[in-house]
Structure 1
Amino acid sequence: MTKRFGETVALDSVDVSVRPGEVYGILGPNGAGKTTLLRIILGLVRPDAGSVSVFGERPGAGAALRRIGSMIETPAFIPGFSGRTNLRVLARACGLSDDHVTNALARVGLADAADRSVKGYSLGMRQRLGVAAALLAKPDVLLLDEPTNGLDPAGVVAMRDLIAGIASEGATVVVSSHVLSEIEHICTRVIVLDAGSVIADADLTDITHGHRNLEEAFFALTTPAADASWTE
């Protein structure tokens, strides 16, 4: 699949397959194409060449979207509404009950703040509310773009545990992040994008083999002299 924005090639002949039940990490420098890839999976952006299949459907098809939860970039909510009311609006639009709202809020640790106005939420709380929105329909696939953005250390650990719990229940989780240590903690397989091209796509253990950690492996891969032979 290829995607261009004017003269800029955002994704260049990307060939990726995400397997059921895995936690799949998308890494890359700023502008590497991480968010564009997630947007294409959701049908928000169309590729210029190639094809994409989500549960055997085209991206954006209702049958596919009903099985996907997502948080792409910074989540937006109605500031004057409470966290609970914001989620109720989304739940009503999806034909979901208040039980889904209550369960999602509890899962991300916002039960005690559910009835407070979102305008009083910290950045980390808004981030967790975004994840709660993505979890409303109990999706088979969860797409998260920088889920730990704005979280304090305790919140980062809680998010890590949440993602691990979702995966343990059989869901597939795709995480885009620049926080390499978090990807190393939660992901089973990693793709590394650089300037829109795939320079690595393999199990985490294969990516980090011969390196002290994922950070060292990442910088080795993304330097001009890096060996691009990591793709399985």
Structure 2
Amino acid sequence: MDAPTFDELIAEGDAVPVDGWDFSWFEGRATEARPSWGYARGLARRLARATAALDIQTGGGEVLHSAPVLPPLTVATEGWPPNVSKATALLGPRGVAVVASPQDAPLPFADGTFDLVTSRHPVRTHWDEIARVLRPGGTYYSQQVGPESVFELAGHFLGPLPDEARRARDPDQARTAAHAAGLDVVDLRTARLRVEFHDIAAVVHFLRKVVWIVPGFTTAAHLPRLRTLHDRITAQGSFVANSTRFLIEARKPNL
């Protein structure tokens, strides 16, 4: 059987739905190493001990749903309508209330509602709002995208990236912002991880799904650079980049 053509791969990558945070489609087409700390395992342990939890920017709810035990009160927020529907269908049967809330809007909850707030890969972290909705002694637990993540791929499409972009998502800045909001950072870890794309369809789907890597990405607008990258993958077998992640856990002091 002949290998798919460039045009066929582009069409395939363009057709895959991008709702939710299920990355199973990439199996056999792209790989990314995982941080050693195991965010989902740590999340499950903390959820099992909590009484009231909030998951911010839950996506399709897949990570929250992976926890075997959820607190009696569990709420999730999400801003993108297709993800709100997907998360509601997945989490609703488990008693989770999914609230449609824009990612940059104030959290629609009273002060001191939750003893656990979580978020995996938030676009932005609004530390003052997190501190406000946490109870005294409550915890914020989050895995976030770190600085210069997948910059090899972004640079292929955008050219050299400015220093401002390279400084974004710095874990030390997150620590400073948490402290400014009145939270104590009790854990901060970083990881640099290998990412490998084995065909151009995987690149297209990734850039459509993770929209901040190449803002405004479309296959039509970036076709020449996609062709160049396809030729490189065909010749070399894959395209290798590096992602960065950091884990941060912060607590609100007891009164």
Q: TM-score, normalised by structure 1?
A: 0.33
Q: Radius of gyration: which is bigger?
A: 2
Q: TM-score, normalised by structure 2?
A: 0.30
